[in-house]
Amino acid sequence: MTPTTETTIGIGGAAESTDMVLNIGPQHPSTHGVLRLRLVLDGERIQHAEPVIGYMHRGAEKLFEARDYRQIVVLANRHDWLSAFSNELGVVLAVERMLGMEVPERAVWMRTLLAELNRVLNHLMFLGSYPLELGGITPVFYAFREREELQAVMEEISGGRMHYMFNRVGGLKEDLPAGWLGRARHAVADVRSRMDVYDRLVLGNEIFRGRTRGVGALTPEIVHAYGVSGPLARASGVDFDLRRDEPYLAYGELQDTLEVVTRQEGDCLARFECLLEQTHNSLDLADACLDRMAELPPGPINQRLPKVLKAPEGHTYAWTENPLGINGYYLVSKGEKTPYRLKLRSASYNNIQALTELLPGTLVADMVAILGSMFFVVGDIDK
């Protein structure tokens, strides 16, 4: 019998089996960086989603191998440009652990203070920009006003607005300017006094709640499967925070102040609420650090280092609770003045992969709301 071939012909867009491939990007809807989403649509519903990354890759991990332990800090603080101080911190903690180096107490408390101020700066950007992505322009102006208060004290102490370059192996670059603690305390108080605007203007807005409640729910199973961390994971009920569970710096002495904010819903609204409450808690932690700094006697802010700094042969892993989630630093040394290998595990890379599970089944109209609530920095994905 002669074989036959059947061909189904769709008439225009009316064919039910017709899928459309839609490229979002390569760009972020709110210009945070360059990301591409490849969506397969069935009408208005997303059937498949693939994040396409690599447009901003600068090869920092390879460049680490050609820089000494003082120079790698300048490469490490740029991948998440909203969390530069925290990025520096993870690298120097890894090197100090490899060296078995003790950091002066004043440097430990000062690092903790600056890490929390940097966390607030990071979160304020997303607290302002996320409503902007959903059509609300006003909150971003408030967010930048509060950021400027804190940027002023960060710039005074470090000389930088984005890339502070204030961490050093063994401590910090230099001691505090005269009167800086008072100015920092005043800035923290000013920002705290105006944080209620996000409760009233954003969380109290029925349109914002309508666009975010029940949208893009992330389950704990997906969180664990993809290594999602930070506020995104805690908004899905995954109660994990390195500052509490594996304390580093001075967090072990701040457990009475530290509050790990969680939600169970895992939707866009829960992620925003976690970010907002965590910002309030970071301001409290900053105040606690300022109180402790005021009690400490004068002393060194760093360790004296040899002219040529070499780490002993071996390997170590340091991880920190960065503003966007867990950052990990795997350092391998051959006993030279440069790392043999420094592998960076960034929070945004893992967080954004969950979109492959999160977007299918949702509407195109909700895609931007979900994408914006993932709170990522594209440089932190590409490194």
pLDDT tens-place values along the chain, 383 residues long: 555 554 444 444 444 556 788 888 776 554 556 788 899 998 889 999 999 888 777 788 899 999 999 899 988 888 888 999 999 999 999 999 999 999 999 999 999 999 999 999 999 999 999 999 898 899 999 999 999 999 999 999 998 888 899 999 999 999 999 999 999 999 999 999 999 888 888 998 899 999 999 998 999 999 999 999 999 999 999 999 999 999 999 999 999 999 999 999 999 999 999 999 999 999 999 999 999 999 999 999 999 999 899 999 999 999 999 999 999 999 999 999 999 999 999 999 999 999 999 999 999 889 989 998 998 888 888 87
> Do residues 180 and 48 share a domain?
no
3-state secondary structure of 36: strand
- 381 within some domain: no
Does 6 reside within a domain? no
- Tell me if 75 sits within 8 A of 258, measured CB to CB: no
- Is the domain of 34 the same as that of 122? no
Give the distance, in angstroms, between the CA of residue 306 and the centroid of all CA atoms in the same chain: 33
The rounded distance, in Å, linking the Cα atoms of 53 and 35 is 6
User: Is position 11 within any domain?
Assistant: no
Do 178 and 44 lie in one domain? The reply is: no
DSSP state of 50: E
Query: Are 240 and 257 found together in one domain?
Result: yes
Domain count, the chain: 2
Q: Is 363 found in the same domain as 316?
A: yes
Find the domain containing 27 and state its range: 20-52
| Domain finish residue from 36, 52, 68 | 52
**CB < 8 Å & 24+ apart, contacts of 10-13:** none
Domain match, 137 and 248 both: yes
Question: Does the model's pTM come out above 0.85?
Answer: yes
* Count of Cβ atoms closer than 10 Å to residue 275 Cβ: 26
CA atoms of 329 and 349, how far apart (whole Å): 14
| Those residues with Cβ within 8 angstroms of residue 221's Cβ, 6 or more apart along the chain or in another chain | none
- Establish how many alpha carbons lie within 13 A of residue 85's alpha carbon, considering only the half-sphere containing its beta carbon: 27
